Structure 1
Amino acid sequence: MGFLSKKTTWSNAEFIPLKLCIASAYVLIGTYFSTYILAYKAIFFGIFGVTVALSMYLWVTKMKKQNP
């Protein structure tokens, strides 16, 4: 649990993948209730998957740099 208690600083540009990840998750939740957006479900899953992986990579590399 010590991994989650370490502190880092983020710039606004570094938050973009995380914000896209969260936004695509909200859209995926919204598609459950709307049949119109279901046609774009695969695109949003792709965006979500890529941004989750990118966010985790950026977070882990930043943690390793700041906390050797």
Structure 2
Amino acid sequence: MNFLKIKTCWSNAEFIIIKICMATIYIFVGSYFHDFFQNYHWALIEIFAFTVIWFVYQWIKKMKSQKL
């Protein structure tokens, strides 16, 4: 299980993506309990999906570059 032991160095700018990703899913889940975000469900899902794909891509790219 060496996958979980791999260390990478991330800059603060690269953490913005995962923060946006987590924030949008928190707001999306919270929107089921509050009517304020009810009109923004699809926008939040799109932002979440985009940031997840972007974050995973950067993570894989960074892991591959460290193996070289």
Distance across 1 between alignment mates of 2:8 and 2:25 = 24
Hey, what does 1:26 align to over in structure 2?
Answer: 26
Percent same amino acid among aligned pairs? 44
Paired residues in the alignment total: 68
Higher helix content, 1 or 2 = 2
Give unpaired runs (5+ residues) of structure 1: none
TM-score of the pair, normalised by structure 1: 0.92
Q: Does 1:50 align with 2:19?
A: no
SS of match in other structure, 1:10:
coil
Distance across 1 between alignment mates of 2:18 and 2:36 = 26
Give unpaired runs (5+ residues) of structure 2: none
RMSD of aligned residue pairs (Cα, Å): 1.0
1:1-68 map, 5 Å: 1-68=1-68
Displacement over 6 Å in runs of 4+:
none
